[in-house]
Structure formats: structure tokens, C-alpha cells
């Protein structure tokens, strides 16, 4: 199971980062960042199967591609913002992390507007 590999990488990197931080704190942060990217790349490859299934389902129920791609972009923004914020928190920069989270929320809201407008139009057209 992949989760065991991910946890093993995380534990090894944590021990390594803790040991290195005692002598050279700046290198410990780099270990954390590189480990985060390795884990991120490991799981991002698993998303291809999910995207294929969602694409097939969207074709079956005739959802326009723009809506599915927008929803996937929203999910991607949420994950990337969270990932970046966690890296900043690990480096002790909570203020920057909160700004990344805020920016992610704003971008999600902007991306969701066309879907919300379409949903409102559908609701308005249903009311006699």
C-alpha cells in the first residue's frame, strides 16, 4: 500500500530534519520542503485515474466540460494553497501561511462565480 511508503518517507525525513535542525536549521527546512514535494508528486500521479473516472461520468450525464474543469481547478487551488501554507507554517511563517490560505479562498470564490450564476439561472427558469 502506498500509504506505508508515504508514511515511511515522512518519518525518515522528520528524523533527518530534526537531527539536522540542531546543527543547521536552514537545511532542516529544505529537507521538509523537498520531502513535501516528493510526497506531493507521489500522490499527484494517483489523480490521473480519478480524473479519468470523473471525465467518463461527466460524459455519461452530459455535463459541459467547462463545469467539470472549473470544479477540478477549484479543488486544485484548495490543495495547492493548503500545501503552500503548510510549508510556510513548517518554516515558522504563520503570517505568510494565512495570506496564502486567504488568497486561495478568494481564487476559489472567483472560480465558482460562473457555476453559481448558471445554478441561479436554472433555479430562476424553474420558477413559474
With helix as H, strand as E and coil as C, how does the chain read?
CHHHHHHHHHHHHHHHHHHHHHHCHHHHHHHHHHHHHHHHHHHHCCHHHHHHHHHHHHHHCCCCHHHHHHHHHHHHHHHHHHHHHHHHHHCCCHHHHHHHHHHHHHHHHHHHHHHHHHHHHHHHHHCC
Domain-located, residue 52: no
Average pLDDT, integer, range 107-119: 92
Q: Based on the fold, state whether residues 31 and 78 are members of the same structural domain.
A: no
Q: State the residue for C-alpha cell 461527466.
A: 58
Q: Are 121 and 72 part of one and the same domain?
A: yes
Same domain for 127 and 66 = yes
Report pLDDT digits (tens) over 52-108: 888 888 888 887 888 888 988 999 999 999 989 998 888 889 999 999 999 999 999
Based on the fold, state whether residues 80 and 18 are members of the same structural domain. no
- Quote the domain boundaries for residue 32: 1-45
What is the end-to-end Cα distance of the chain in Å, rounded? Answer: 54
Question: What's the pLDDT tens digit per position in 16-50?
Answer: 988 888 888 788 888 888 998 898 888 888 888 88
36 belongs to a structural domain: yes
Percent of the chain with pLDDT over 70: 99
For residues 128 and 67, membership in a common domain is answered with yes
Amino acid at each position: 500500500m502506498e500509504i506505508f511508503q508515504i508514511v515511511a518517507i515522512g518519518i525518515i525525513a522528520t528524523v533527518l530534519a530534526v537531527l539536522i535542525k540542531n546543527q543547521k536549521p536552514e537545511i532542516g527546512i529544505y529537507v521538509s520542503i523537498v520531502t513535501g514535494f516528493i510526497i506531493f508528486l507521489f500522490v499527484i500521479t494517483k489523480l490521473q485515474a480519478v480524473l479519468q473516472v470523473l471525465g467518463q461520468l461527466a460524459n455519461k450525464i452530459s455535463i459541459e466540460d467547462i463545469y467539470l474543469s472549473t470544479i477540478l481547478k477549484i479543488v486544485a487551488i484548495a490543495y495547492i494553497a493548503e500545501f503552500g501554507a503548510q510549508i510556510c507554517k513548517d518554516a515558522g511563517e504563520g503570517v505568510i501561511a494565512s495570506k496564502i490560505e486567504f488568497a486561495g479562498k478568494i481564487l476559489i470564490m472567483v472560480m465558482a462565480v460562473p457555476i453559481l450564476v448558471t445554478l441561479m439561472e436554472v433555479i430562476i427558469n424553474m420558477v413559474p
